[in-house]
Copies of this chain bind each other. A is one copy, B any other.
Amino acid sequence: MSTEKDFVKEICSRDVDFSQWYIDVVRKAELADYAPVRGCMVIRPYGYTIWELVRDALDDEIKATGHQNAYFPLLIPESFLQKEADHVEGFAPQVGWVTAGGNEELEERLALRPTSEAIICEMYSKWIRSWRDLPVMINQWANVIRWEKVTRLFLRTTEFLWQEGHTAHETREEAEEEALKMLDVYDDVLRSVMAIPAYKGIKTEREKFPGAEQTYTVEALMPDGRALQAGTSHNLGQHFAKVFNITYLDRNDEQSYVYQTSWGVTTRLIGALVMVHGDDYGLKLPPRCAPYQVVIVPIIYEESKSGILEKCNEILNELRGAGVRVHLDDRDGYTPGWKFNEWELRGVPLRLEFGPKDLEKGSVLTVRRDTREKQPIPLDDLNRELGELLDRIQVDMLEAATKYTVDHTTTITDRAQFLLTFKGRPGIVRAPWCRSGACEGKMQEETGATIRFLKLEPESAAGEKCVGCGEDAEHWAYFAKAY
């Protein structure tokens, strides 16, 4: 929906102003736009199609691991939210409140869900009676509202879309296994679909989900040196079960509390996708989450126009038949060069250029978005070679992002060097930590960095000194400035 004039405006260079570059790409590639209400966004069709591709891949894995989808209400009575003390403290400052319906004031304020533990636990307490009802494995796809002071398209918005899984189990071990299994699912979708490498880790007490016993995280490094929490999975223990009285008759005929988990990822993933792969030409999409994996741009001269278009349509249909998401840009009134720019901006992984010379040679020129490499492919082997090329792009993009992450993860043991390093944005810094929350807070004040995670099996830092307080360190922690 751009006219030629709109489109040619520059995107800010990534090195000049990363934040401005990000917003320019999101808006000019038509992923999202600002809504009239501060902090809210409109997800435009191109951005929403990416979300659908990620969502469907994740939904398949959620179902393959034994979960079913359901839908719980948006509106939650204030009294429910207040039942779990940590939970209310964590979320109260961000809640949107409904106080009137139609022309009537409500007797009790209703919260717009900031997350659904409270309402789901209430229902579970009614549904679960016996060990035969367990495990309960439910997921929901929904919108969520959290009033945010500083917002940015996809990365932090007042309303966002997400999935939230909520499970109930007989034993602590089962809940722990579930929480870790879903962390693996997130890690897998991030890597295999979005070509985003992430660290799997545990959050510290300070950083964990309000009300959880343990929070696991997949943490990805962005090219500006900041970390982004891409998904979390919580072992809730029996905290919520005790507050919401979710009991069941166990195998010994006694009343027991269930063990629970919850886990979620959000539309913020689209923001990560933009940042991890994009460049000064715009978006760069991995084939598995690209609305169009291939765009065909005909090179047209008046005398050969109909022959070229005819062949382009043949290619289109052949690829479509093979299940490739492909688009033929046969618009009049735009030059091929203009079209190249537009589809680069929109991040289409592979461009096919096809003109009279290609017709003569019986081949088509392919141009990769990720490396800008050009390579002719013979038309009679198009499907196979194109499929291989798309697979290669997917793999190469993950490899490039992984290399960046590894290169920007450094180990620092010296306090002075640690403080100096965080004057900039060094990426992820592995450093010895004494495990005191006070020390963690002090380091955040001094550097602006937080502990993003400890390894799932925390690494002993015996013999090292904590970079915060200089006392004996216990574990290696991974610090970064974060989104």
Q: Which residues of A contact B (CB under 8 A)?
A: 1, 3, 6, 33, 35-37, 40-45, 47-49, 51-52, 68-77, 80, 92-104, 110, 112, 119, 122-123, 126-130, 132-133, 136, 138, 142-143, 145, 147, 158-159, 161, 333
Contacts and interface: CB of A to CB of B under 8 A. Distances in A.
Q: Is the interface of A mostly helix, strand, loop or mixed?
A: mixed
A96 to B, nearest CB: 5
Nearest to A128: B1
A230 to B, nearest CB: 20
Identify the 7 closest CB pairs spanning chains A and B, nearest first. Answer: A45-B68, A101-B147, A43-B71, A40-B73, A97-B100, A102-B147, A1-B133
Contact of A101 (B45, B48, B72, B97): B97
A34 to B, nearest CB: 9
Nearest to A249: B3
A68 B49 contact: yes
Nearest to A94: B102
Contacts of A33: 123, 126-127
A282 to B, nearest CB: 19
A44 to B, nearest CB: 6
A129 B96 CA distance: 35
Contacts of A119: 35-36
Contacts of A130: 3
Contacts of A40: 73-75
Contact of A1 (B1, B76, B129): B129
Nearest to A41: B73
Contacts of A112: 74, 98, 112
Contacts of A35: 72-73, 75, 119, 123
> Which residue of A6, A128, A136, A159 has the most chain B CB atoms within 10 A of its CB atom?
A159
Contact of A96 (B68, B95, B101): B101
Contacts of A71: 42-43, 48, 51, 161
11 contacts: A33-B126, A35-B119, A36-B76, A37-B76, A37-B77, A40-B74, A44-B70, A47-B70, A92-B103, A98-B99, A104-B147
A159 B70 contact: no
B143 A74 contact: yes
B69 A48 contact: yes
Contact of A93 (B92, B98, B102): B102
A75 B37 contact: yes
A80 B40 CA distance: 15
